[in-house]
C-alpha cells in the first residue's frame, strides 16, 4: 500500500524505494488530496508498478499534475475507488480504515485529505495527509477510534493541524513529521512541537532524519532513519496506554493568564491559583489570556 508520493521530482525515488524492498505490486494507492506535494510523484509510480486500486476523494482540482495522475490510473486499468468513511480494507496481515473526510465544501483541499488508520495486529498508525483542525474536529465528533501508536502529523506539522483535543484522543507514542529542510512555511510550527513534547511523545522529522522507516511485527515497533543518529526507543504495544499525561495548559486564577505547563510562569505559580486546561480553546473560553512569554 502506498499513500502519496511527494512532488513530481520524487516519483522516481519513491518507485525505486518500493522496488528495492522487493515489492512488485501495489494493492492500494491512496492520494490523500490533490496538492502537488502529495500527488506529484504518483503518476510515475502508477506507470512504473502494477497497481490494483486507487483511492481518493473527488474535488474540483484540475491542475495538469492531478490530471496526469488520473490519466495514469485510467491507462493502467487501475480500479478507481471513492474514499468513504468507515470503509475497511485488508492487505497482507494489515487492515486500514478510512476516518475522513467526514464532510465537504471545505475551503482549500487540505481538509479533503483521506485519513486512514492502518492496523497491524496491535500496532496502529494514523496517517492524516494534510487534514487540519476542522477535519480533526469532525473525526472527534464522529467518535472515531483515534487512539494510535504512531501519528503522521497533519499538514507537515503546521499549527493549523494537530489540535490539542485531537492529540489527546490519539495519544501517540511517536509522531512523524514530514517536512522539507528550511521550508518556506516554517513547518513544523513551534506550537506543534511544544504540544508533542509536553505529551511525552517522541517526534521524528524528515527534515532532520531523511526517510523514516517504522517496522512492526504487530506487537513491537522500531524505527530507523536515513540520516542522523536519533536514538529512537523501542516500543511494545500498549506502552503508551497508561502514561499519565501532564496537563498541556495551566491558567492562573489570579492573573487570568494561561501558560504551557512547562513555562516558568506555571512553575512559579501558587498551587491555589492553578487551573488546568486540556486545550487552548478551553482556556480562552474561560476568559484566560495567553502568556506573552510562552505564547500558548
Question: Please, what is the end-to-end C-alpha distance for the chain in angstroms?
Answer: 38
Preceding amide of 24 cis, omega within 30: no
* Parallel/antiparallel/unpaired status of strands 115-120 and 123-127: antiparallel
- CB closer to Zn ion out of 48 and 180: 180
- CB closer to Zn ion out of 44 and 135: 135
Are 201 and 179 within 8 A, CB to CB?
A: no
d(CA 179, CA 184): 10
One of 35, 187, 189, 280 touching Zn ion (CB under 5 A): 35
Site size toward Zn ion, by CB under 5 A = 4
Could you say whether residue 130 binds Zn ion (CB under 5 A)? yes
Scanning residues 71 to 110, which ones bind Zn ion (CB under 5 A)?
110
Stretch that binds Zn ion, among 16-24, 34-42, 198-206, 282-290 (CB under 5 A): 34-42
Closest separation in Å from C-beta 188 to Zn ion: 12
Q: Which three cell numbers stand for residue 26?
A: 501495489
Cα separation values, 145 from 124, 126, 221, Å: 11, 10, 20
Closest separation in Å from C-beta 198 to Zn ion: 25
d(CA 115, CA 33): 10
Scanning residues 131 to 150, which ones bind Zn ion (CB under 5 A)?
none
Scanning residues 104 to 123, which ones bind Zn ion (CB under 5 A)?
110
Closest separation in Å from C-beta 57 to Zn ion: 13
Closest separation in Å from C-beta 30 to Zn ion: 14
Sheet holding 50-56, edge to edge: 2-3, 25-30, 50-56, 79-82
Could you say whether residue 37 binds Zn ion (CB under 5 A)? yes
Stretch that binds Zn ion, among 30-38, 88-96, 118-126, 190-198 (CB under 5 A): 30-38
Closest separation in Å from C-beta 35 to Zn ion: 3
Closest separation in Å from C-beta 240 to Zn ion: 26
Q: Which three cell numbers stand for residue 197?
A: 513534547
d(CA 47, CA 5): 13
Stretch that binds Zn ion, among 27-35, 158-166, 186-194, 263-271 (CB under 5 A): 27-35
Q: Which three cell numbers stand for residue 5?
A: 508520493
Could you say whether residue 207 binds Zn ion (CB under 5 A)? no
Of 163, 87, 106, 114, which Cα lies nearest the Cα of 2? Answer: 114
Stretch that binds Zn ion, among 44-52, 124-132, 191-199, 288-296 (CB under 5 A): 124-132
**Residue for grid cell 475507488:** 81
Closest separation in Å from C-beta 178 to Zn ion: 8
* Residues lying near Zn ion in the complex (CB under 5 A): 35, 37, 110, 130
Amino acid at each position: 500500500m502506498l499513500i502519496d508520493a511527494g512532488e513530481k521530482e520524487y516519483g522516481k525515488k519513491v518507485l525505486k524505494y518500493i522496488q528495492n524492498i522487493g515489492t512488485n505490486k501495489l494493492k492500494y494507492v491512496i492520494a490523500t488530496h490533490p496538492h502537488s506535494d502529495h500527488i506529484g510523484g504518483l503518476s510515475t509510480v502508477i506507470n512504473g508498478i502494477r497497481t490494483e486500486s486507487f483511492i481518493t476523494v473527488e474535488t474540483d482540482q484540475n491542475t495538469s499534475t492531478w490530471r496526469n495522475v488520473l490519466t495514469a490510473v485510467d491507462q493502467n486499468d487501475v480500479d478507481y475507488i471513492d474514499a468513504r468513511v468507515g470503509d475497511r480494507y485488508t492487505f497482507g496481515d494489515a487492515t486500514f480504515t478510512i476516518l475522513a473526510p467526514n464532510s465537504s465544501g471545505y475551503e482549500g483541499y487540505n481538509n479533503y485529505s483521506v485519513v486512514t488508520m492502518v492496523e497491524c495486529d496491535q500496532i496502529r498508525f494514523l496517517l492524516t495527509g494534510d487534514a487540519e483542525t476542522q477535519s480533526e474536529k469532525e473525526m472527534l465528533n464522529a467518535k472515531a477510534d483515534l487512539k494510535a501508536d504512531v501519528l503522521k502529523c497533519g499538514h507537515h506539522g503546521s499549527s493549523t493541524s494537530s489540535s490539542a483535543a485531537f492529540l489527546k484522543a490519539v495519544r501517540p507514542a511517536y509522531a512523524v513529521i514530514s517536512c522539507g529542510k528550511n521550508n518556506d512555511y516554517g513547518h513544523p510550527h513551534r506550537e506543534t512541537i511544544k504540544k508533542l513534547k509536553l505529551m511525552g511523545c517522541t517526534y521524528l522529522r524528515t527534515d532532520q532524519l531523511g526517510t523514516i522507516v517504522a517496522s512492526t511485527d504487530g506487537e513491537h515497533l522500531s524505527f530507523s532513519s536515513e540520516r542522523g543518529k536519533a536514538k529512537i526507543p523501542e516500543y511494545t504495544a500498549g506502552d503508551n496506554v497508561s502514561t499519565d499525561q501532564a496537563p498541556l495548559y495551566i491558567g492562573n486564577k489570579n492573573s487570568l493568564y494561561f501558560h504551557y505547563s512547562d513555562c516558568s510562569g506555571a512553575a512559579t505559580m501558587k498551587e491555589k491559583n492553578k487551573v488546568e486546561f486540556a486545550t487552548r480553546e478551553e482556556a480562552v473560553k474561560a476568559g484566560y489570556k495567553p502568556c506573552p512569554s510562552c505564547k500558548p
